[in-house]
Structure 1
Amino acid sequence: MEREEMFEKVVTPSDVGKLNRLVVPKQYAERFFPLVAATDCVKGLLLSFEDPTGKSWHFRYSYWNSSQSYVMTKGWSRFVKEKRLDAGDTVCFSRGAGPDARNHFFIDWKRRILPIRGYPPCRQVIFYPPSPVTAPPEAEVQPGSVPTGPDSTPAVGGQAVAKRVRLFGVNLLCPEP
């Protein structure tokens, strides 16, 4: 069956925690799951969803006046537990495409992307080659000396020469004590 995406929600700690409910964003709730009668608002509706494995999930959907929010309650915690959802994961809601299939709902989920330990989270790594202005200075070789690296102290004729350090793009000469 062809599907039409309704919305996705990144679940919060309270959506997957001990509150046993999923808060449905108001704009999506009113667009895709309208409560039609006053009695619907009190008791709620039982909505059925099919997951990618073909398993049916039934959630009670209602409006909570106390928090003025639309929620899915009964059945939600079982879904969270079985799919091992964590805060940051995404739940995807869709329905059948076309007038005859619009009341056939589907649910899917995606794991959040975890950063590699020790590296900051990022979407893309961009490499900028060093420009001549910011590139570290080349090692200087003077007659009678040995080429040095950035952490060594150059010597000319057996005497220590000032150490050269590059800090924030500025070359500094540091005399030896």
Structure 2
Amino acid sequence: MEPPLPPDPEFAIYSFCKTLRPSDTSIHGGLSVLKRRADECFPPLDMSMQPPKQELVAKDLHGNEWRFEHIFRGQPRRHLVARGWGNFVSSKRPVAGDAFVFLRSSATIVGYEDADPVRWMDSKWRFLKVRWDESMPRPLPERVSPWELEHFD
């Protein structure tokens, strides 16, 4: 008898949610991101560049594409979503206390839905509907619970 096949590898969903502060909602600033979150959710930076930076392309719930500059700068050095952030803020008009969700794996949040449409219809507690890239080796969940996202302020 042959040994059993190893289980399929688990595919982690790298994501986090940031509660926006007043400084994050300024058209003249940027969005500060903790190092650990940037390392998990953004492509690696080329640290030989001065300053290290790259372009990030993101899509919102309506399919609009946003281009941001991810840069590692300042004293102390920190990760910022800079150029392009002001355009996003001008258009979306977020306010302090709003949540900004990052998902890695070029995944797109395409909407949200009730956790249980029969028992909790129109509840504030909803799941994010996610469309994953076609290149994923196996299907991932179509719904992601916001409670499973790592959250930071």
Task: Indicate conservation of the 8 Å contact 2:15/2:41, yes or no.
Answer: yes
Larger radius of gyration: 1
TM-score, length basis structure 2:
0.57
SS in 1 for 2:46: coil
1:35 aligns with 2:36: no
Match of 1:76 in 2: 85
Query: Which of structure 1's runs of 4+ aligned residues deviate more than 2 A?
Result: 105-108
CA–CA distance in structure 2, aligned partners of residues 18 and 77 of structure 1: 4
- Displacement of 1:85 in angstroms is 0.2
Cα distance, 1:105 vs structure 2:
5.2
Q: Is the 8 A contact 1:44 1:61 kept in 2?
A: yes
What is the aligned partner in structure 2 of residue 58 from structure 1? 67
1:114-133 equivalences under 5 Å are none
Aligned-residue offset at 1:75: 0.6
RMSD: 2.3
1:13-34, Cα deviation, whole Å (9 max, x unpaired): 1111254200011210122222
Change (3 A) 1:76 1:63: same
Secondary structure of the equivalent of 1:85?
coil
Native 8 Å contact 1:12 1:88 kept in 2: yes
Quick one: which amino acid aligns to residue 12 of structure 1? R
Distance 1:53 1:64 in 2: 31
Aligned pair count? 98
Q: CA deviation at 1:37?
A: 3.5
In structure 1, list runs of 5 or more residues that go unmatched: 96-101, 109-177
1:18-167 to 2 correspondences below 5 Å: 18-33=27-42, 34-39=44-49, 42=51, 44-95=53-104, 102=105, 104=106, 106=108
Greater relative contact order structure (CA < 8 Å, 6+ sep): 2
How far off is 1:35 after superposition?
1.2
Alpha carbons 1:92, 1:107 under 8 Å: kept: no
| Runs (5+) with no aligned partner, structure 2 | 1-11, 111-153
Whole-angstrom distance in 2 between the partners of 1:107 and 1:57? 14
